[in-house]
Amino acid sequence: MRNELPDGTARGVAGRAVAPRIYLDHAASTSLDDAAATRMADVARASGNASSVHSAGVWATREVERARMRIADALGASPEEITFTSGATEANNFALKGVVWSGRRARPHLIVSAVEHPSISEPAAWLQAAGHARVTTLPVDSAGRVRAADVEAALGPDTVLVSVQHVNNETGVLHPVAEIGRICRAAEVLFHVDASQGFQKAPLNVAAMHIDLLTASGHKLHGPKGVGVLYAREGVSLVPLLHGGGHERGVRGGTLNAPAIAGFGEAVLRYTPADVERITGLQQHFERELRALFPNVRIHGADAPRVPMISNFAVPGQSGKALFLELDRRGILVSASSACHSTLLTPSGVLIAMGLSPAEANEALRVSFGRSTTVGDVDTLLHALTTIIKGVAPCP
């Protein structure tokens, strides 16, 4: 077994540092930004509850509201439209169940896509199985994109909500959310977007894109784990998931995690277009070299617009799980699928929905880049893949 040192170095069984690890699984989670960590520590040292009215509580409230304003500004929203949650999973459940239970229609109709994160697909399936809603699951094209025309065709008089993700968590493919938003607004149907993978990494404006509900998570952009947000446009009625205490304007009970919220706000401020531009260069370098080394490689979603943080690929005849394990043994951390499915033996549902066979889906490997990724990290990965697959190192 190997343990990790704080600097990311791998520790062997004798306790000796053997090699630095290379972390290329930023779609699953990112490292905590130093400034965000410092801000969290400062807030954590204070004992005030953001719901208290004494000076310590007022100070904690000020930190929460500063983060709320930063996140709202990044989305083109008003601070009053932002509700803090324990993460995107809670926020996604809140969006779907909150709309269905708002009582506008008996057994209302929901529309979701076939490539949604489990925190959308599973609540939707539960709502249908429990008799609370009727659900339509839309297919995607071969590039993994939802077709806006399919959304329009699926709308009915009982449709209350359409939920389509901003960016797919396995392929990085961008969905046409602005076009879908226009269709939903014209039909007076609420539109929800899970923006966990795309927030700050691709253009996103809730007003311009006619988005009524949106969820995001702190740990996807070098903020802390355990904190997320639900944006709900003013006037949208939701039944709370959590009752009690009157927190968050009465829509989400529970003492606010002020340190994590403050860290989230700091991380949003520090994730910049320059970061996206640099990571774009890394992805282009990786995929260009990958194609040169393995001409038959498949890059899933390459025919659609994508964010530069994710490259999902397969070398025909190679097991993605086997490559994942061998890379991990060498200290290179990637993923064979979404983090939420990484322990399952079933092939990726996203890739199956894109038309791949189970055997082809099992060949997939996901590499995802972050702010800490370097060209050297990418080249080390390429070298390792060549050594593992071809049994030889590439020429210098």
Token reading at 200: 């700050």
Greater model confidence, 172 or 51:
172
Is pLDDT above 60 for 206?
yes
| Average pLDDT for 362-387 | 96
Please, which pLDDT band fits residue 339 given cuts at 50, 70 and 90?
very low
pLDDT score of 6:
44
In order, the DSSP letters of 201-246 are: TS---TTTTT-SEEEEEGGGTTS-SS-EEEEE-TT-----SS-STT
Please, which pLDDT band fits residue 391 given cuts at 50, 70 and 90?
confident
Which residues lie across from 230 on neighbouring strands? Answer: 83, 215
Tell me which of 265, 289, 324 is where a domain ends.
265
- The answer to whether position 318 is within a domain reads yes
Q: What is the mean pLDDT of the chain?
A: 89
Is pLDDT above 80 for 123?
yes
pLDDT tens string 63-88: 899 999 999 999 999 999 999 999 99
- The answer to whether position 395 is within a domain reads no
| Average pLDDT for 298-312 | 97
* Alpha carbons 252 and 82: distance in angstroms, whole number: 11
Please, which pLDDT band fits residue 50 given cuts at 50, 70 and 90?
low
* Alpha carbons 343 and 296: distance in angstroms, whole number: 28
Please, which pLDDT band fits residue 56 given cuts at 50, 70 and 90?
low
- The answer to whether position 251 is within a domain reads yes
pLDDT score of 3:
44
- Distant-in-sequence contacts of 286-295, Cβ < 8 A, 24+ apart: 286/311, 286/367, 286/369, 286/378, 286/381, 286/382, 287/311, 287/313, 289/378, 289/379, 289/382, 290/382, 290/385, 293/382, 293/385, 293/386, 293/394, 294/385, 294/389
- The answer to whether position 29 is within a domain reads no
- The answer to whether position 258 is within a domain reads yes
User: In sequence order, what are the residues at sequence separation of 6 or more whose Cβ sits closer than 8 angstroms to the Cβ of residue 379?
Assistant: 289
pLDDT score of 16:
40
User: In sequence order, what are the residues at sequence separation of 6 or more whose Cβ sits closer than 8 angstroms to the Cβ of residue 316?
Assistant: 296, 298, 360, 363
pLDDT score of 336:
84
Question: Do 193 and 83 share a structural domain?
Answer: yes
Domain of residue 292, CATH code: 3.90.1150.10
pTM of the full predicted structure?
0.90
Question: Do 145 and 42 share a structural domain?
Answer: yes
Is pLDDT above 90 for 340?
no
pLDDT score of 61:
78
| Average pLDDT for 25-30 | 96
Domain count, the chain: 2
DSSP state of 144: S
From the candidates 46, 160, 302, 340, which is the catalytic residue? 340
pLDDT score of 265:
96
Question: Do 133 and 98 share a structural domain?
Answer: yes
Range of lowest pLDDT (26-40, 52-66, 140-154): 52-66
User: In sequence order, what are the residues at sequence separation of 6 or more whose Cβ sits closer than 8 angstroms to the Cβ of residue 352?
Assistant: 358, 361
| Average pLDDT for 173-201 | 98
Is pLDDT above 90 for 238?
yes
Question: Do 353 and 250 share a structural domain?
Answer: no
Domain of residue 225, CATH code: 3.40.640.10
| Average pLDDT for 330-345 | 69
pLDDT score of 153:
98
| Average pLDDT for 230-248 | 88
Which residues lie across from 364 on neighbouring strands? Answer: 314
Please, which pLDDT band fits residue 396 given cuts at 50, 70 and 90?
very low
Question: Do 281 and 256 share a structural domain?
Answer: no
Question: Do 234 and 135 share a structural domain?
Answer: yes
Is pLDDT above 50 for 234?
yes
Exposed / middle / buried, residue 223 (Cβ in 10 Å: 0-12, 13-18, 19+): buried
Is pLDDT above 90 for 351?
yes
Tell me which of 265, 297, 316 is where a domain ends.
265
Block residue for tokens 């071969």: 142
pLDDT score of 208:
97
Question: Do 332 and 203 share a structural domain?
Answer: no
- The answer to whether position 154 is within a domain reads yes
* Alpha carbons 233 and 210: distance in angstroms, whole number: 10
Helices (H) and strands (E) in the chain, counts: 12, 15
Question: Do 176 and 146 share a structural domain?
Answer: yes
Question: Do 259 and 324 share a structural domain?
Answer: no
- Alpha helices, H only, 101-209: 118-129, 148-154, 177-187
pLDDT score of 116:
97
Please, which pLDDT band fits residue 200 given cuts at 50, 70 and 90?
very high
340 is annotated as an active-site residue: yes
pLDDT score of 345:
59
Token reading at 279: 């990571």
In order, the DSSP letters of 81-115 are: GEEEESSHHHHHHHHHHHHHTT-SSSS-EEEEETT
pLDDT score of 341:
47
Is pLDDT above 80 for 298?
yes
Question: Do 205 and 305 share a structural domain?
Answer: no
Nearest CA to 320 out of 364, 359, 382, 352 is that of 364
Tell me which of 209, 242, 265 is where a domain ends.
265
Question: Do 277 and 201 share a structural domain?
Answer: no
- The answer to whether position 146 is within a domain reads yes
Question: Do 95 and 236 share a structural domain?
Answer: yes
Q: Which structural domain range is residue 82 located in?
A: 34-265
pLDDT score of 12:
40
122 and 357 Cβ atoms separated by less than 8 Å? no
Q: With the C-alpha atoms ordered 107, 113, 160, 154, is the resulting torsion angle positive or negative?
A: negative
Q: With the C-alpha atoms ordered 55, 58, 64, 70, is the resulting torsion angle positive or negative?
A: negative
| Average pLDDT for 141-151 | 97
- The answer to whether position 396 is within a domain reads no
pLDDT score of 107:
86
